[in-house]
Amino acid sequence: MVQDFDAYERELWAGRADAYEKGFARVTRHMVGPLLDAAGVMEGTRFLDVGTGPGVVAAEAVRRGAAVSAMDADTGMAEVARRNVPGLDVRIAVLPEVPFGDGEFDAVAGNFVINHVGDPGRALTALRRVLRPGGRLALSCWRMPGSGVLGIVRDAIEEAGVPWPDDIPEPPFMEHGEPAAFRRLVAGAGFREVAVEEVTWEHLVDPQRWWELGALARVGSNGVVVGRQDAPTVARIKDAYDRIVAGYAVADGRVALPAHALLASAVR
């Protein structure tokens, strides 16, 4: 039976903060500058970092001189964020809950968080509430369907002939992971001046380390599926992964995995 998506997400990320910081957070870091630029974050900006994770966005906003608050659904992520950004005010909350007052912020941003909520429309409405009139929203998400850095382990799972489990739900955001649909979603929550741009880059990484920090560390649904398999099946998936990832090899033994994201910006 497919679980409630939000409940599944809480189970998925529990205890994964350190592994996420060492792995996927190094990919998503690429979007921090563009995200904060789109939100207009500068000195004196009252800024909310939604889904702060290990606090990478919050740290850069602090460096810019903003007055930063943050929230995350996972207590482990919040602990890591507090460690990385001393003195950061981090609240524990699951979107669409936003534990701040109406109009409290000049800017709100979320780096790859809107694709992890059960009801993206309600989440956007909640984020609009805490923005002042004229305040700016910026959100990044993965281009759907996932490929390259996001989808390579799932591609290996499929190539190895391992069926996708019936109890793992697809993200409700799947239907919004292309520019026109993402723009409609944000505009539908009452935002204006909505713009969505595509951003592509390459993540350079040791392929064995990427396997260990993703598939074997049980980060994300792909890691959950790999973690459920017996040793011979894991070896079969790894063989498929090695074949696929070899196509992205560069001269120094690393691989250049393509990353495809969307960046939405809007005004309250």
**Angstrom distance (rounded) from CA 81 to CA 77:** 6
| Residue 203: how many other CB atoms lie within 10 Å | 21
Which pLDDT belongs to residue 111? 97
Which pLDDT belongs to residue 185? 97
C-alpha distances in angstroms, 88 versus 85, 131, 267?
A: 6, 19, 25
55-87 residue pLDDT tens = 999 999 999 999 999 999 999 999 999 999 999
- pTM confidence score: 0.93
Domains and CATH numbers, the chain: 5-145+167-202+258-267 (3.40.50.150)
Which pLDDT belongs to residue 153? 93
Which pLDDT belongs to residue 3? 55
**Angstrom distance (rounded) from CA 191 to CA 81:** 29
| H helix or E strand, kind and range, residue 258 | strand 255-267
Reduced to 3 states (helix: H, G, I; strand: E, B; else coil), residue 190 is coil
Taking each continuous run of H as one helix and of E as one strand, the counts in the chain are 12, 7
Is the four-CA dihedral 113, 97, 100, 80 of positive or negative sign?
negative
- Is the peptide bond between 96 and the residue preceding it cis, with omega within 30 degrees of 0? yes
Which pLDDT belongs to residue 2? 43
The ranges of the chain with pLDDT < 70 are 1-3
